[in-house]
Structure 1
């Protein structure tokens, strides 16, 4: 690895190395030596920048979740109409293939860190809150402008979407169901809680697909 010009660049490179190690070894198996090898450094050099390896994992989680949330928000923004925005939100939440799968896998791998570290827990809460807000805004607009008949308050329903996504996304990654199956289950949930027939929703034609929207893992 080429010597960086500043510490910020070195930290960025180490976060990428940690991300790569997590993807290859899993968070529970990735060791300091694995991260050092990915970065082309000695373990001591890694510890110079991150004396606690858990802090490096948290930095990897933060970068991945911010990329994930920002990409979802951008993808939804490009959709026209509340129905298409809801459908785009659903499709953007599933780990499909390529980069979106990598980002999703990093987030799932590192979730347990939030149970043991206050800083990681705060980041995880923010990750959830941003996704809930995305769904809530769509549901509230649909109710106000299109007469959607919501089965419960929008904030409660938004949280249900995110909870379902977390469960379905995990099952997709372990091979329990396909991404298409998970999306269809979420579409059925959307129809049941909005009273809207989703057959006319067309979220995919916005210049990119959910599989390539998440940027670099």
Structure 2
């Protein structure tokens, strides 16, 4: 019974190693040797657990989507007040810096969706999950009389997520004019305009 569990752990370790390799090398030109170096394993060992590099890269993308959404979902589930939920969604939607591993991987692999239907499906899935989280919180805030939206919860949610994606790209792309703090300020400002109150606590 121990062997399947060990294999599962090795595969999870390889997903994390491949994520680090993608953050360093990008997807184009990524090799099994790059992943092996990050995992401190032989290339043959990597291929034992993932026969095709594309399979491993897809697993990295799926893991990053789960992680990014899961953190935000757990955060709002632990909060009851819609205003505090909204502030937390905004805070967690912006990369912490250019070295934010999950966000770097997501941007690298979302672009890969232009050449791969499975990667495009993961990108679309994350978009829908993020929008749905905002829509849930905004709808709850309207029902409780906390928010007065300029548009429908869905439209506001889509607009905010689109801006998150835009500023996040500049953060991980080392644009000195869009620091994490500035990115957060821009998203919070949009939320304030759309919702009628600040999107992050003072």
Aligned residue-pair number:
198
Distance 1:132 1:184 in 2: 19
Mapping of 1:196-215 within 5 angstroms? Answer: 196-198=196-198, 202=201
TM-score, normalisation: structure 1: 0.81
TM-score, normalisation: structure 2: 0.86
Residues 90, 147 of structure 1: CA spacing in aligned structure 2 closer, same or farther, 3 A cutoff? closer
Partners of 2:95 and 2:168 within 8 A in 1:
yes
User: Would you say 1:173 and 2:172 are equivalent positions?
Assistant: yes
Distance 2:155 2:145 in 1: 19
Report the alpha carbon displacement of residue 157 of structure 1 after superposing the two structures with TM.
Answer: 1.4
Residues 147, 42 of structure 1: CA spacing in aligned structure 2 closer, same or farther, 3 A cutoff? closer
Secondary structure of 2:144's counterpart equals helix
Secondary structure of 2:151's counterpart equals coil
Deviations 1:35-64 (A, max 9, x none): 122233333432333232122111011111
CA RMSD of aligned residues (A): 2.4
Report the alpha carbon displacement of residue 97 of structure 1 after superposing the two structures with TM.
Answer: 4.2
2:117 match: 118
User: Would you say 1:78 and 2:78 are equivalent positions?
Assistant: yes
Residues 40, 96 of structure 1: CA spacing in aligned structure 2 closer, same or farther, 3 A cutoff? closer
Larger RCO (CA under 8 A, 6+ residues apart):
1
2:184 match: 183
Secondary structure of 2:94's counterpart equals coil
1:210 match: none
Partners of 1:58 and 1:113 within 8 A in 2:
no
Partners of 2:135 and 2:154 within 8 A in 1:
yes
User: Would you say 1:103 and 2:130 are equivalent positions?
Assistant: no
